[in-house]
Amino acid sequence: MNQASFKLKKSKLLVQLTKMTKTLGRISKWNKYTVLEITVTDGLLTLVIPGIRLELKCETSSTAKATLSLFYFKDIIQTTNGIELDCIITDRTIKMGGVSVHAKTTFFETDSILKASNYPLTIPIYTSCD
């Protein structure tokens, strides 16, 4: 069975999740299903929603990528007891404290495929003038 984990202060994660949700505004039918992509690499937790990418240094083991609803993930973190949050990602499941939830997707591989690639900031557009 594949497994990866991260451990960090719950308050540190909540501050970042609050920043993300504030940019979306109030929960509406348009944003309530916003997907959060969680990437665990060596000593780094990366949280991504459309338009926002946040990186948090933390304790990690192995590498993984998982997706889950942003508002659902934030609600679970808020209701979890304790100062430290220990999150374990396994095949199709994310376990935080005593709560296990079904992830939309999970991916396990070496972190070389998970690290961000350097893409050009601009994409050239070619048009023909015939």
Architecture of domain 3-114: Roll (3.10)
Q: What is the pTM of this model?
A: 0.76
Per-residue pLDDT of the chain in tens (130 residues, 90 and over written 9) = 788 899 999 999 999 999 888 888 887 878 888 999 999 998 999 999 988 999 999 999 988 888 989 999 999 999 888 899 999 988 888 898 788 888 877 777 654 544 444 544 444 444 445 4
Cβ atoms within 10 A of the Cβ of 57, count?
10
Angle in degrees, CA 18, 62, 95, rounded to 5: 50
Q: Which of 43, 40, 47 is nearest to 69 (CA)?
A: 47
Sequence spans of domains, the chain: 3-114
